[in-house]
Amino acid sequence: MRRGVLCCCLLLLSSSTAMADEPPRTVYRDAVLIDGTGAPARPGTSIVVEGELIVAVLPDAQADARGAQVVDLHGQYVVPGLIDTHVHLATPPDAAAAQATLRRQVYSGVTAVRSMADDTRSVGELARQALVGEIPAPDIHYAALMAGPGFFQDPRTIAVTRGRTPGRTPWMQAIDERTDLVLAVAMARGTSADGIKLYADMPGPLLAKITTEAHRQGIPVWAHAAVFPAMPADVVAAGVDVVSHSCPLAYQASPRKPASYHERIPVDESVFADGKMPAAITGLFATMAARGIILDATNLVYLRHVEEYAREKKGAPPRCSAGLTLRLTAQAFSQGVAISSGTDGDNPDDAPFPSLHDELELLAGPVGMPPMEVIRAATATAARALGQERSMGTIEPGKLANLVVLAQDPLAGIDHLRSVTETVKRGVRYPRSAFKAGAAESGATPAR
């Protein structure tokens, strides 16, 4: 073959390969867009997606649909993909159950979750499968846990470290004053965890040392509101990025304080009587707001515990009442603390929607957050809680194409977030019509 012909063939081959590698282009037209930034809804908006990314958000008249698949969303609403900032997917590991949970989430508008300390050997594989599209699932961002040595008699720690010694694995580490924190943080990062969770049985100064080292190594720190004996003020003073659970924040003002995680002393709620909110709590929230610390409130799990204990009178008593849990979340919001949308427990397998929708309705109802702020809690703020605000949480060019299409206006009622017609995760479409609660995996096929 002559040189000129060979070059021409190579050029044609290169051109056809480049065309084959071009990502598919989709234009979602005529949507009422609620973009997650807090800006007013924008009717008549087109969202242009190439591959897994949003490349343009603009009025319909300006959208170039040539060569693109066009999805007509006339009369429908679009919000960013929802995020649950507190789930557990592998305590103990059960891949089939986890996949069923994840499948229901993605078909219900959830495009990312934060797994808050599980067996990362299992969660890591689920995260890989979700990322590459082997299973219908939200993206999974997960934590490696650190706690005091005394915590690792807990049966949950045994369940998530089978084959290893609890407290001596990179994803479940026992930490005390003698621990080499540089190595401990590096080991946690080596699990591919997105954050370190501080859980139980550590004093305040140790929390601060761990947080400082974690931030030096570029990994966020997520902590329980009280890491007994450390109280909420110690957790906040340590400089953590996200605090989980509204209820235990009450220990800051309670005359009775547990000395360890397993000491189940309920909050003394007398200091909250007659609608009082103690200065110890309002001061705590003022500091959280000033420092940008997010509250992963998880109201639902505490309300359900109160109901279960009242019904069955078994197990550990609730740490605080349902009313106090909701009041603390409402007070935090009123003082400017950013609230994220964590659940810490899911609905029964045959329920049509995951518990995230129940949590959001609590935020809009008894907590009293306006619908726009509830949407932000489940999108922009939740993305920041995951440390992923650069790639998700709002509908903007350059971010992942994570969208929820709704038949009804969520600003008119947050329960309208249940009117999902389809979810788009990383540009892949998951029509709600393909989902049936409790159905086998083969019955749920994404639209590619």
Cα torsion angle, 213, 192, 295, 300, sign:
negative
Structural domains in the chain, sorted by start? 23-78+400-443 (2.30.40.10), 82-386 (3.20.20.140)
Q: Is 106 helix (H, G, I), strand (E, B) or coil?
A: helix
> Residue 218 is which amino acid?
G
Sign of torsion, CA 150 151 156 161? negative
DSSP letter string over 236-258?
HHTT-SEEE-SGGGGGGT-S---
User: 429 φ, ψ to 5°?
Assistant: -90, 135
Cα 78 to Cα 74: distance, rounded to the nearest angstrom? 11
For residue 327 the two structure tokens come to 């009041």
Tell the residue number behind the tokens 């003020």, with chain if given. 233
pLDDT of residue 439: 62
Which pair of tokens denotes residue 127?
Answer: 């995260």
Give the pLDDT of the chain (448 residues) as one tens digit per residue: 445 544 454 444 444 444 457 899 999 999 999 999 999 999 999 999 999 999 999 999 999 999 999 999 999 999 999 999 999 999 999 999 999 999 999 999 999 999 999 999 999 999 999 999 999 999 999 999 999 999 999 999 999 999 999 999 999 999 999 999 999 999 999 999 999 999 999 999 999 999 999 999 999 999 999 999 999 999 999 999 999 999 999 999 999 999 999 999 999 999 999 999 999 999 999 999 999 999 999 999 999 999 999 999 899 999 999 999 999 999 999 999 999 999 999 999 999 999 999 999 999 999 999 999 999 999 999 999 999 999 999 999 999 999 999 999 999 999 999 999 999 999 999 999 999 887 654 333 444 4
How far apart are the C-alpha atoms of 266 and 249, rounded to whole Å? 12
Listed in sequence order, the residues at least 6 apart from 374 whose beta carbon sits closer than 8 Å to its beta carbon are 341, 360, 363, 364, 414
Pair of tokens at residue 133? 């599209």
Q: What is the Cα–Cα distance from 348 to 181, expressed in whole angstroms?
A: 40
What pLDDT shows up at residue 223?
98
Q: Please give the Cα distance from 281 to 240 (Å, whole number).
A: 17
The owner of tokens 């010694």 is: 165
Cα separation, 48 vs 63, in Å, equals 8
Are 334 and 289 in contact, with CB atoms under 8 Å apart? no
pLDDT at 11: 47
- Strand-pair partners of 27: 48, 70
pLDDT at 22: 81
- What is the C-alpha to C-alpha distance for residues 439 and 352, in angstroms, rounded to an integer? 11
Dist CA 403 CA 134 (whole Å): 19
Whether 210 contacts 198, CB under 8 Å: yes
Tokens 């969520």 found at: 410
**Alpha helices, DSSP H, located in 75-138:** 95-107, 120-132
Q: Which helix (H) or strand (E) holds 168?
A: strand 168-169
- φ/ψ (deg, to 5) at 244: -100, 135
Q: Structure pTM?
A: 0.93
